[in-house]
């Protein structure tokens, strides 16, 4: 089994298109998208249209997607500064788009061979607002996994791809296909191939595209955070490094 992962697109079409062009050459069995497809960018409908056309694509719901479809912005929540972006994103999506988002699973398991499971989720196994940033110690990661078991775990949320092994578990941070915070502004995707008997070959790959044009599109967009997102698209760093989200 050969799988491509790309995640945390955040309604950014051009970087997604660059990733999809590369993925089309990978000859994978499945394309798994661990969430945050929309919100945080100017093209939510266009991104969903692109994903909905791909027969091998298995998207998951991320916390941003959930905020949009569950109308979290209409009540008390922990992220009131995100309310306008959530509401406006929803207003730029059709009923068909929203129904499709609502139906997405929050996790999935792929089993290429009995006893060798790959668990996919967005943030942590039980919390789509959680995260597994690389700075965590092994013990901190284990605490956030809360006993979840799989040979390999793949996830989004952390905007900087990595592969890390803790005990018998291989962790794959698959994001971001659009907006990275690790100092490399190129969109990323990951290819994982199962070779049998617990052997996995995992590669992080990057693509190039016209990030300046996308940054300008964000600056001129209806999204209230467009200017901040533009800075990240240009630099590969979170716009406010003193207050990282994860």
CATH number at residue 224: 3.60.21.10
Model pLDDT, residue 241: 79
Confidence check: pLDDT of 242 > 80: no
Sign of dihedral through CA atoms 184, 195, 122, 218?
positive
Within a domain: 128:
no
Q: Which two tokens stand for residue 126?
A: 């039980």
Model pLDDT for residues 149-170, shown as the tens digit of each residue: 999 999 999 999 999 999 999 9
How many domains does the chain contain in total?
A: 1
Within a domain: 126:
no
| Cα dihedral 95/97/99/104 (nearest 10) | -170
Model pLDDT, residue 236: 97
CA 160/CA 162 separation, integer angstroms: 7
What is the band of 7 on the pLDDT scale with cuts at 50, 70, 90?
A: very high
CA 226/CA 228 separation, integer angstroms: 5
Within a domain: 72:
yes
What is the band of 29 on the pLDDT scale with cuts at 50, 70, 90?
A: very high
What is the band of 238 on the pLDDT scale with cuts at 50, 70, 90?
A: very high
Within a domain: 163:
no
Within a domain: 129:
no
What is the band of 144 on the pLDDT scale with cuts at 50, 70, 90?
A: very high
**Closest C-alpha to 59, from 116, 93, 102:** 102
What is the band of 133 on the pLDDT scale with cuts at 50, 70, 90?
A: very high
What is the band of 192 on the pLDDT scale with cuts at 50, 70, 90?
A: very high
Within a domain: 145:
no
- Average confidence (pLDDT) over 182-207: 98
188, burial (CB in 10 Å: exposed 0-12, middle 13-18, buried 19+): buried
How is residue 127 annotated by DSSP? Answer: B
Domain containing 22 equals: 2-108+174-243
Edge-to-edge strand ranges of the sheet holding 57-59: 57-59, 30-33, 2-5, 188-196, 199-206
Sign of dihedral through CA atoms 36, 40, 43, 45?
positive
Model pLDDT, residue 181: 96
Within a domain: 233:
yes
CA 122/CA 124 separation, integer angstroms: 6
Q: Which two tokens stand for residue 101?
A: 């988002």
The predicted model scores a pTM of 0.96
CA 130/CA 116 separation, integer angstroms: 25
Model pLDDT, residue 186: 98
Within a domain: 118:
no
Which residues make Cβ contacts (< 8 Å) with residue 55, sequence separation at least 6?
Answer: none
């Amino acid at each position: 089994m050969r799988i491509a992962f790309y995640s945390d697109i955040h309604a950014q079409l051009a970087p997604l298109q660059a990733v999809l062009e590369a993925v089309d050459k990978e000859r994978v069995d499945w394309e798994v998208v661990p969430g945050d497809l929309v919100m945080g960018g100017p093209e939510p409908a266009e991104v969903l249209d692109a994903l909905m056309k791909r027969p091998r694509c298995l998207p998951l719901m991320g916390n941003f997607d959930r905020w949009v479809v569950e109308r979290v912005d209409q009540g008390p929540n922990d992220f009131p500064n995100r309310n306008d972006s959530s509401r406006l994103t929803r207003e730029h999506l059709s009923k068909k788009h929203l129904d499709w988002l609502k139906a997405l699973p929050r996790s999935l398991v792929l089993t290429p061979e009995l006893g060798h499971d790959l668990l996919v989720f967005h943030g942590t196994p039980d919390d789509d607002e959680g995260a597994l940033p690389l700075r965590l110690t092994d013990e901190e990661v284990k605490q956030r996994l809360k006993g979840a078991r799989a040979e390999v775990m793949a996830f989004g949320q952390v905007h900087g791809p990595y592969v890390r092994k803790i005990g018998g578990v291989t962790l794959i941070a698959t994001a971001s296909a659009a907006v990275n915070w690790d100092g490399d502004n190129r969109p990323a995707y990951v290819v994982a191939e199962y070779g049998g008997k617990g052997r996995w070959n995992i590669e992080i790959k990057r693509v190039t595209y016209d990030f300046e044009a996308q940054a300008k599109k964000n600056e001129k967009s209806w999204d209230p955070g467009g200017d901040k997102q533009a800075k990240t698209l240009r630099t590969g760093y979170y716009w406010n490094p003193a207050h990282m989200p994860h």
